[in-house]
């Protein structure tokens, strides 16, 4: 069973550029959530995708967008990068939406630095 | 608006003793609480959870206590082991149908051999 993988591991961009981060969900999972973890903070929910549809969004501007593909892998796109976008971006996969099992499996993250 | 708070950024405990990590929340609509453990260069790993209808859940060395009236939960690790050294995040969930988790800022636990 393959766990959640993310690419790239590290990325350096300059202000104003665009970036795409990728996530492969754990085998059998159909839900992907993205989180931003700034230095010294806990992860902040960006949005979630369930069966290729966005299902919930946190307090992030529209320049943060995403996709989920038929194989349930996902992309996070950020346009017009700002210095404050520098953070660790975590992807988490799970199966389904409801029920008592709220366990989400996290990937190792992508460290984005905006200069 | 920090709805989930972990007021202790760090904690050091002697190996074999009990580690107690605390978490406070403000949103009474949260229906499920979770603890995650994070090692450097890895994603958070689920540790233990508790439903808002319970006040205690135990799994091996880990026990989570929930005090709804005080909007407070704690994670007890006993006995503490060197491998427990990590950052621990408290997280909360509300509403079935949306798996959004609201995380605290984390507590770095160091177990001293």
Report the alpha-carbon distance of residue B40 to residue B17 in Å, rounded. Answer: 24
Predicted pLDDT at B95: 64
Q: Residue holding tokens 């549809």?
A: A53
Task: Beginning with the edge strand found earlier in the chain, give each strand of the sheet holding B19-25 in spatial order.
Answer: B4-5, B19-25, B72-77, B62-67, B56-59
> Which residue among B96, B103, B105 sits closest to A98, beta carbon to beta carbon?
B96
Asked if residues A4 and A26 have their Cβ atoms less than 8 Å apart, the reply is yes
Instruction: Tell me the C-alpha distance between B58 and B111, whole Å.
Output: 21
Paired tokens of A95:
């199966």
Tell me if chain B has a CB within 8 Å of the CB of A33: yes
Q: What pLDDT digit, counting tens, does each position of A4-22 carry? A: 999 999 999 999 999 999 9
Flag if B98 and A55 touch (Cβ within 8 Å). Answer: yes
A97 touches chain B (CB under 8 A): yes
Average pLDDT (A59-65) is 96
Is 70 exceeded by the pLDDT of residue B25? Answer: yes
- pLDDT of amino acid B100: 81
DSSP β-ladder status, A110-114 and A10-13: parallel
CB B3 within 8 A of CB B26: yes
Q: How far apart are CA A51 and CA A54, in angstroms?
A: 8
Residue A56: predicted pLDDT: 87
The span from the CA of B5 to the CA of B25, in Å, is 6
Cβ pair B89:A43 closer than 8 A: yes
Q: Which of A20-24, B18-22, B51-55, B77-81 shows the lowest per-residue confidence on average (mean pLDDT)? A: B51-55
Closest residue of chain A to B88, computed from CA coordinates: A42
Burial of residue A31, with CB atoms counted within 10 A of its CB: 0-12 exposed, 13-18 middle, 19 or more buried = buried
Whether residue B17 has pLDDT greater than 70: yes
Q: What is the pLDDT of residues A30-56, one digit of tens each?
A: 889 999 999 989 999 999 998 899 988
Indicate which of B44, B90, B102 best probes the interface with A, i.e. most A CBs within 10 Å of its own CB. Answer: B44
Amino acid B83: pLDDT: 96
Whether A97 shows a pLDDT value over 70: the answer reads: no
Report the share of chain B in percent with pLDDT over 70: 95
pLDDT tens sequence across A72-90: 999 999 999 999 999 999 9
Contact B46 A42 (CB under 8 A): no
Q: Is A59 on the interface with B (CB under 8 A)?
A: no
Q: How much is the average pLDDT of B68-72?
A: 96
DSSP string, B41-106: TS--EEEEEEETT-SEEEETTEEEEEETTTTEEEEEESS--GGG-EEEEEEEE-STT---EEE---
- Rounded to the nearest 10 degrees, how much is the dihedral formed by the CA atoms of B30, A85, A92, A63? 90
Measured between CB atoms, does B40 come within 8 Å of chain A? no
A8 CB within 8 Å of a chain B CB: no
Please report residues of A whose CB lies closer than 8 A to that of B98: 48, 55-56, 97
């Amino acid at each position: 069973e393959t766990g959640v993988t993310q690419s790239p591991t590290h990325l350096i961009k300059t202000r104003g550029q665009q970036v795409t981060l990728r996530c492969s969900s754990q085998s059998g999972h159909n839900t992907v959530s993205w989180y931003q973890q700034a230095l010294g903070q806990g992860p902040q929910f960006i949005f979630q995708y369930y069966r290729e549809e966005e299902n919930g969004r946190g307090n992030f501007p529209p320049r943060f967008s995403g996709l989920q593909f038929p194989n349930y892998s996902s992309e996070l796109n950020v346009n017009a990068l700002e210095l404050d976008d520098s953070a660790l971006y975590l992807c988490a996969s799970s199966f389904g939406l409801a029920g008592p099992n709220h366990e989400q499996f996290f990937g190792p993250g992508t460290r984005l630095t905006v200069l | 608006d920090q709805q989930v708070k972990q007021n202790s950024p760090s904690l050091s405990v002697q190996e074999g003793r009990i580690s107690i990590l605390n978490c406070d929340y403000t949103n009474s609509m949260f229906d499920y609480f979770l603890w995650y453990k994070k090692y450097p260069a890895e994603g958070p790993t689920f540790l233990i959870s508790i439903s808002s209808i319970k006040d205690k859940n135990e799994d091996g060395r880990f026990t989570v206590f929930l005090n709804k009236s005080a909007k407070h939960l704690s994670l007890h690790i006993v006995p503490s082991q060197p491998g427990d050294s990590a950052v621990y995040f408290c997280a909360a969930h509300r509403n079935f149908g949306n798996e959004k988790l609201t995380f605290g800022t984390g507590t770095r636990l160091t177990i001293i051999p």
